[in-house]
Amino acid sequence: MESAEIRAENLSKWYGEIRGVSGINLDIHSGIVGLIGPNGAGKTTFLNLCCGLLEPSQGKITILGEPAFTGTRFRRQLGVVSQKDAVYPFMTVLEFVTVLTELHGFSKREAKERAVKAIERVQLGHKLHQRIEVLSKGMRQCLKLAQAIAHDPKILLLDELLTGCDPLVKYQIKTLLLEMVQHGATILLSSHNLKEMEALTQEVVIIHCGKIAAAGKIGELQQKLKHHEHKVLVQGTELRKLAQILLQHPEITGIEFKDNERSMMVQTMDPAMFYHKFTAILGTGEFRIEKILSQDQDLTSLFHYLVGEIKE
């Protein structure tokens, strides 16, 4: 069997009666992989199992072929950004990254050189001698990334790294992560923001209630959407009359009125055809439509569809 950088086999973690993750089987080989799920899905638990902070209750997790909880060699190849702000506010940016880099076994001099380089890579060069307590949330995220990359790890585990970052910082981080991937890094990045992830990678693992709902390329997962019903919310006036016209078309599978008939949810198996015909109907000028809302073409709907298949 080809060895994966990260391999989980029937991996479970329970906190007493509470399920963190359950029966996870997953191979992660290379590139950026998005770990996506809502709050409480098990993302942090999974990442903590990967970096050996938690011991599995059942099953196995290996990083670069070593068991994550007991292995030691892989740790020098591992960079971690935790969700919590595990920083020392009284230290300067340079001191903090230098100290943590020394822990990977570098001399003080080399650690400092590496720290400066990493801090510059995350665009914090102008804050080198500032105390961490004065940094903004987005800057602290960059600082956490700097300490995670200063030793040139092969594997990066990034828990909600992009949270609190403005679009420019997100873009800079994205560029940096892609560069690292080009140099052979494997990156697992958790988020509950599907759009954000879509902009960064095609490869996702969707986790819900501690289980993997789906894993693969976003495009492939979206193919699954073709077999489920799309919903489009239409808001406006004279909706009952509009509904009568729409229901004459075979691709409309149902209409449900809401909000005292001020809006209606149209169900269709063929959204492209629906929009085509809908536009033509609206072109007659007979109806006043205030809003048309569809979530079905993006990752959000894919996510809801996929996790809908998992029972809590």
- Alpha-helix runs per DSSP H in 234-270: 239-246
CA 144 to chain centroid, in Å, comes to 18
Window 85-124: contact mask with ligand ATP (x via CB under 6 A): ----------------------------------------
Number of shown-chain residues binding ligand ATP (CB under 6 A):
13
Q: Can residue 192 be called a binding residue for ligand ATP (CB under 6 A)? A: yes
Spatial separation of the C-alpha atoms in residues 92 and 94, rounded to whole Å: 5
211 touches ligand ATP by CB under 6 A: no
Which alpha helices (DSSP H) does the chain contain, by range?
A: 43-50, 93-102, 108-121, 137-149, 167-182, 194-198, 218-225, 239-246, 271-282, 299-307
Nearest residue (CB) to ligand ATP, 2 versus 312? 312
Report how far residue 112's alpha carbon sits from residue 120's, in angstroms, rounded to the nearest whole number: 12
- Check binding of 257 to ligand ATP (CB under 6 A): no
Reduce the DSSP state of residue 135 to 3 states and report it.
Answer: coil
Sorted by sequence, the CB contacts under 8 Å of residue 15 that are 6+ apart come out as none
The reply to whether 197 sits near ligand ATP by the rule CB under 6 A is: no
Q: Which of 242, 78, 92, 223 is nearest to 150 (CA)?
A: 78
Among 42, 52, 79, 271, binds ligand ATP (CB under 6 A): 42
β partners of residue 35 = 190, 205
Query: Which is nearer to ligand ATP, 22 or 268 (by Cβ)?
Result: 22
Q: How far apart are the first and last CA of the chain?
A: 32
- Cβ-based nearer residue to ligand ATP, 102 or 159: 159
Please say which residue, 164 or 250, places its beta carbon nearer to ligand ATP: 164
Residue 234's Cα: distance from chain center in Å? 30
Q: Shortest Cβ distance from residue 57 to ligand ATP (Å)?
A: 12
Stretch that binds ligand ATP, among 39-47, 91-99, 122-130, 299-307 (CB under 6 A): 39-47
Among 11, 41, 156, 212, binds ligand ATP (CB under 6 A): 41
164 touches ligand ATP (CB under 6 A): no
Q: How far apart are CA 176 and CA 33, in angstroms?
A: 15
Binding to ligand ATP by residue 43, rule CB under 6 A?
yes
Biggest distance spanned by C-alpha atoms of the chain: 77
SS3 203: strand
Which residue has tokens 């230098």? Answer: 98
Say whether 133 sits in a helix, a strand or coil.
Answer: helix
Instruction: Specify the residue, 10 or 244, whose C-beta has the smaller distance to ligand ATP.
Output: 10
String marking each residue 45-64 x if it binds ligand ATP according to CB under 6 A: x-------------------
Which of these segments, 40-48, 129-137, 163-171, 281-289, binds ligand ATP (CB under 6 A)? Answer: 40-48
Q: Does 37 bind ligand ATP (CB under 6 A)?
A: yes
Minimum CB separation of residue 35 from ligand ATP in Å reads 8
Q: Which residues bind ligand ATP (CB under 6 A)?
A: 15, 18, 20, 37, 39-45, 83, 192
